[in-house]
């Protein structure tokens, strides 16, 4: 995935959501994640899956 700036808003479309979900699944396969990190990745992945099914878009508001 391309870089996502934590200080700006980000919108994923349905194509980008597919790629995001694949990449998050790959991250979950790594053993270096702490329990807290794993929980956050699962939360974002689940939100992406839900957004893909509802509207095809997911908006993340930056700081």
Q: 3-state SS string over the chain?
A: CCCCCCCCCEEECHHHHHHHHHHHHHHHCCCCCCHHHHHHHHHHHHHHHHHHHHCCCEEECCC
**Quick check: 1 pLDDT over 80?**
no
This prediction has a pTM of 0.83
**Domain assignment of residue 2, yes or no:** no
Task: Report pLDDT for 62.
Answer: 84
Task: Report pLDDT for 2.
Answer: 64
Task: Report pLDDT for 15.
Answer: 94
**Domain assignment of residue 22, yes or no:** yes
**Domain assignment of residue 51, yes or no:** yes
Region of 51 please: left (phi>0), alpha (psi -120 to 50) or beta: alpha
**Domain assignment of residue 47, yes or no:** yes
**Domain assignment of residue 5, yes or no:** no
pLDDT digits 0-9 by tens, 16-53: 999 999 999 999 998 789 999 999 999 999 999 999 99
Count: domains in the chain: 1
Neighbours of 50 (CB within 10 A): 12
From the centroid of its chain, how far is CA 29? 15
Query: What range defines the domain where residue 40 resides?
Result: 10-60
**Quick check: 3 pLDDT over 60?**
yes
């Amino acid at each position: 995935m391309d870089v996502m700036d934590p200080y700006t808003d980000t919108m994923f479309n349905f194509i980008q959501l597919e790629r995001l979900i694949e990449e998050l699944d790959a991250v979950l396969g790594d053993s270096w994640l702490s329990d807290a990190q794993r929980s956050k990745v699962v939360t974002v992945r689940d939100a992406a899956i839900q957004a893909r099914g509802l509207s095809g878009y997911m908006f993340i508001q930056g700081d």
